[in-house]
Amino acid sequence: MIRLAFTIIAGVLLGAIVHLVSVLALPRIASQDAYSRLTPSTKLNAVTQLPAADPSYTMMPYMDPAFAVAVCRYDLSNGPIKLTVPVSQAYTSVSFYTRNDVAYYAINDRSAGKKVIELDLMTEAQHNALPEDEEVTSADRLIIDSPTSTGLIVMKALAPEPGLMAQAQATLAASSCKVQVDQPAKQAEAPPPVNEPPPLRPSRR
């Protein structure tokens, strides 16, 4: 009898461990997360507009039907990404998600304070590899550090009335998300390395 009680207690304790491990592991093993759902229909390092949310759209749950949405699925291993999003009349926002769906940064048109939201997205290593003198002029340059080398940028433009949806979509159509191939620093006077490769994952400092 005692042995059975021990068995049950041991089972429950082990179960608690199983529970913790499975909760922590789920984001890594989930095959139906937003990134995986968007992979077949979106281009890498380019802007893809998502269809307007309606009842037949079942790719992702809880999408706001008042918004035009565009996605840039990024991979920073070939260099930082430059993102420009023109601001629509009503409200525009840009949100950044890691490969595992963690929303690590979001900005809206008012906090960007300009007619165009301009951002540089890079990994921490790429940020550290930036030349020092460039940091000085970075006041008008917004640099975002991505915790993972792949992830999602989600651009949203509000259509306050259904009739303004076309306008919101047109705004997003003018946005761009590109890999910065050439490092802007002094490429004119240093021709020998044909195309100086951006620091490809240098060993962590």
Partner 1 sequence: MRLIFITLLALVIAAAVGLGSTWMTTTKGTELGTLTIGAWTARPRTGTADVDPYSRATITRNGELPIGTGDGVAFTATRDDRKKPLDGRCDIVVSGVTPAARFWTLTLYDSKGHLVANSLQRYGFTSQEIVRGADGSFEIRIASRSRSGNWLPTGGIERYALMLRLYDTPVGVATRTQRDAPMPAIATVGCP
Taking residues 25 to 54 in sequence order and writing x for each that binds partner 1 by CB under 8 A, - otherwise, the string is -xx--x-xxx-xx---------------xx
The distance of closest approach from Cβ of residue 149 to partner 1 in the complex, given in angstroms and rounded to an integer, is: 16
| Residue 76 vs 168, nearer CB to partner 1 | 168
Helix (H) and strand (E) counts in the chain: 6, 9
DSSP-H helix ranges across the chain: 2-29, 34-38, 109-112, 124-128, 132-136, 165-173
| Residue 79 vs 156, nearer CB to partner 1 | 156
Candidates 117-125, 129-137, 148-156, 179-187; binding stretch for partner 1 (CB under 8 A): 148-156
From 39, 41, 111, 128, residue interacting with partner 1 (rule: CB under 8 A) = 111
**C-alpha to C-alpha distance for 38 and 46, rounded to whole angstroms:** 13
On the 0-12 / 13-18 / 19+ scale of CB atoms within 10 A, 74 is: buried
Whole-number Cα distances in Å, 127 to 25, 34, 110: 29, 27, 25
Neighbours of 96 (CB within 10 A): 23
| Residue 8 vs 136, nearer CB to partner 1 | 8
Query: Segment 166-205, which members bind partner 1 (CB under 8 A)?
Result: none
Asked if 142 is part of the footprint of partner 1 (rule: CB under 8 A), the reply reads: no
Largest Cα span, the chain:
84
Count of residues in contact with partner 1, rule CB under 8 A:
66
**C-alpha to C-alpha distance for 184 and 202, rounded to whole angstroms:** 19
Neighbours of 190 (CB within 10 A): 9
From 39, 51, 77, 106, residue interacting with partner 1 (rule: CB under 8 A) = 106
Candidates 41-49, 105-113, 117-125, 135-143; binding stretch for partner 1 (CB under 8 A): 105-113
Q: List residues near partner 1 by CB under 8 A.
A: 3-4, 7-8, 10-19, 21-24, 26-27, 30, 32-34, 36-37, 53-66, 90-91, 93, 95-97, 100-108, 110-111, 147, 152, 154, 156, 158-162
